[in-house]
Each structure stands twice: as C-alpha cells, then as structure tokens.
Amino acid sequence: MLQNPYLLQNPDEIETPSLVVLPQIVRENIKLALNIIGENVLRPHVKTFKTKEVAQLLIDVGVSQFKCATIAEAEMLAMVNAKDILLACQPAGKNIDRLKKLIETYPDSSFSCLVDNEATVLALGQIFKENPLNIYIDLNVGMNRTGVLPENSEILLDLIKSTTGVMLKGIHAYEGHIHAIDFDKRKELADTVFFVSDAIRCKVETILQKKLELVIGGTPTFPIFANKNRVTCSPGTFVFWDSGYSKYTDLPFKVATCLLTRVISIIDNQFLCLDLGHKAVASENSLDKRLTFLSEESIELISHSEEHLVIKVHDTSNYKIGQVLYAIPYHICPTVALHNEIQVIENQIVVGHWTVVARNRTITI
C-alpha cells in the first residue's frame, strides 16, 4: 500500500477536485535543497509553486535569489520583498514595457532577464537606456528551446558591450533535456554541459574583467552542479515534488502535494467516474502517467476529459458515491497552475489555503 499522509479527518469540508499541501514537507524539502547546495547559491524557480506563502518560506530561511517565467511570477516575488528576481523567459513586445513598469513599481527588488539574440538586446537597451537592466546570456546547451549556441555567444557579447541600456550580470544554461534515470549517465551529461557553460563564463570574465554568475541546474541535475565551484542552481519542482520526479531514487525529496477527487458515478462492477478532469491535473503526458493513486489496489486510468476521469478497479462494490480518492500528479508545475487555491493540511485537517496568485498572467502589471 502506498503511504497516504493526506488522509483527511474532515474530507466532507473540502470541495473536489482540490489540490492540497503539507507545509511541513515543503519545509523539509527546502532544508534538504539548501543542504545539497552547500556553499553555492540556491535560486529556486517559482514556476512550480506560484504562491507567496512558499516564496516566504524560502525567504525565511535565507533564500534571496529567485528565478521565474512570467511578469506575474516576478511581481508575486516583489510583493514579498524578494531581493533578486531573474525573469527566465526573455521578454518580447509589450512584456518589455511591463518589465520596465514592474521595476519602477518595486524599487526594493533587483530585476534581471535573459537574452539570446541581438533584437532583444537592442530593444532592452532602448527601453532601459536611462537605467540599465542587468541581463544574462542564455546558452543553448542541448534543450533546443531558447538560448544562443555557445560558439555564437561572443558575437552577442560584443553587442551587449556596445549597448548602453544593458549590463551583463551572468551566464544562464538550462539542461532540461537531461532525463537519464541512471545517476552516472545523468552526471556524465551534466558534466559536459557544465564544462561548456563554465568555459563561456570564464572567457567572458576575462574579456570584461569582472566576475559573472553562472545560473544552471534544474531539479534532476542540480545536486551534480552543486559540487562545482561558483554556481547558482535553479531547481523548481523540489519544493512540491511529484510522481514524475519520484523515479529519481537518488533525489530524496518527498511529495508535498496531492489531488483529492470524488467518485461521482459507478458505471458497472469495474469502472468508476471521478471528478478529476483535464482542468484539474496536467494532461500533457500519456494517460497512464498522469496520476498515481494512493490506494490499496491497483487503479487503471481508462479515459480522461475536461471534468471526468474514468478508472478501472477490481470491484466497484468497495466504493460509494462521494467517496474521496487521493492521487499524486505526474507533473506538479502545470497542475498547480490549474488551481486558484491550494488547501493547507495540518494534522490531517484542512486549516486554510494558499492562493495561487501567479497562475494568472497578470496580477496588477
């Protein structure tokens, strides 16, 4: 039987589908990440949790640097007085104007962003010509999503040097393409990424005659980079964890969130329908991966639609209409973005909620 620390004493008081959290496990995961990072810097990616409460838990234990994906996530961090905020999805079009307004609205926070092309550097330079913006060169180290190829980074550097509205603060590399379950293989791939990224960092430091930050390391790889010199690691999923990352047995984080759902229809002697549709759980993965039920028996996922999930069980006579089931999502980050609130559990009782304020693209700016 899978352990179920979420088993509620007051399940009738909670609506379903709902996402719930155990704050004590969140705190334990944060402490573990800080122990792993050692003398290096932890810059958590807030795309996973999107709540001021978790950001505050991190700030309370000394975390001062954060990474985020959207203007709204950046504003959420500024609202809790985060000191150093890196926008990791480089802005384009109106988002450059929004970034400028964000900086003007929250002067106590320091903001920066990534760049990987000349057009973005020039646009930022124009908008921030009076008050230069800190930027990081984003390297494409194999993810093939964003980033300048390492061999072309010096061309971008030359433009940055001649653009008055930007100042280079560091190098950024995201190795999200590294998924190897075997630790030795994962380390081999991560070491290659570090060698390339650090070589670029050292070369640029020599050219500019100043020290630069190297931001690198998602959740599966950051313990590997944490053993290098002068790195800033930016994992995100570690705070909540999920069934997808639980396959990495060398990473001792614990699942801190769970989905609650109810039986809403008994189809026949083997099939049930639950109120856990696409709108409540991330559905980008194949159906068999999306959820892991905390159950004494094996549950098979049969079909999934906007508001419904059909499952197969051994015998539906063991279930009743309205019965609560508990499931761990495969991918927690986009699952959080589907919920307005996360219900907070202490001592098996729902005691409050955290508002997922940054699930929206806009808060005030």
Does residue 317 share a domain with residue 213?
no
Return the amino acid letter for 262. R
Does residue 16 share a domain with residue 33?
no
Q: Which pLDDT belongs to residue 1? A: 41
Could you give the CA distance from residue 59 to residue 63 in angstroms, rounded to a whole number?
A: 5
Q: Which pLDDT belongs to residue 172? A: 98
Q: Quick check: is 2 in a domain?
A: no
Does residue 288 share a domain with residue 210?
no
Q: Reduce the DSSP state of residue 156 to 3 states and report it.
A: helix
Does residue 213 share a domain with residue 168?
yes
Q: Which pLDDT belongs to residue 6? A: 85
Q: Which pLDDT belongs to residue 127? A: 98
Does residue 49 share a domain with residue 133?
yes
pLDDT digits (tens, 9 = 90+) for 284-312: 999 999 999 998 889 999 999 999 999 99
Q: Quick check: is 306 in a domain?
A: yes
* CA 288, chain centre distance (Å): 23
* CA 334, chain centre distance (Å): 9
Whether 25 and 242 have beta carbons less than 8 Å apart is answered as no
Does residue 189 share a domain with residue 151?
yes
Does residue 121 share a domain with residue 56?
yes
* Domain endpoint, select from 190, 211, 243: 243
Could you give the CA distance from residue 188 to residue 148 in angstroms, rounded to a whole number?
A: 22
Q: Which pLDDT belongs to residue 5? A: 84
Q: Quick check: is 251 in a domain?
A: no
Does residue 129 share a domain with residue 270?
no
Q: Which pLDDT belongs to residue 4? A: 80
Does residue 264 share a domain with residue 234?
no
Q: Quick check: is 351 in a domain?
A: yes
Q: Quick check: is 4 in a domain?
A: no
Low-confidence ranges of the chain (pLDDT < 50): 1
Does residue 31 share a domain with residue 16?
no
Does residue 270 share a domain with residue 317?
yes
* Domain endpoint, select from 243, 276, 304: 243
Host domain of residue 321: 11-20+256-359
Find all residues with CB under 8 Å of 178, minimum gap 6, and list them: 142, 186, 189, 190, 193, 220, 221
Q: Quick check: is 250 in a domain?
A: no
Q: Number of structural domains, the chain?
A: 2
Q: Quick check: is 59 in a domain?
A: yes
Phi and psi at 96, nearest 5°, equal -70, -40
CATH of the domain at 278: 2.40.37.20
Q: Quick check: is 365 in a domain?
A: no
Is pTM, for the whole model, over 0.85?
A: yes
Q: Which pLDDT belongs to residue 13? A: 85
Does residue 281 share a domain with residue 207?
no
Angle between helices 71-79 and 94-105 (to 10 degrees): 0
Q: Which pLDDT belongs to residue 2? A: 54
pLDDT digits (tens, 9 = 90+) for 113-153: 999 999 999 999 999 999 999 999 999 999 999 999 999 99
* Domain endpoint, select from 199, 216, 243: 243
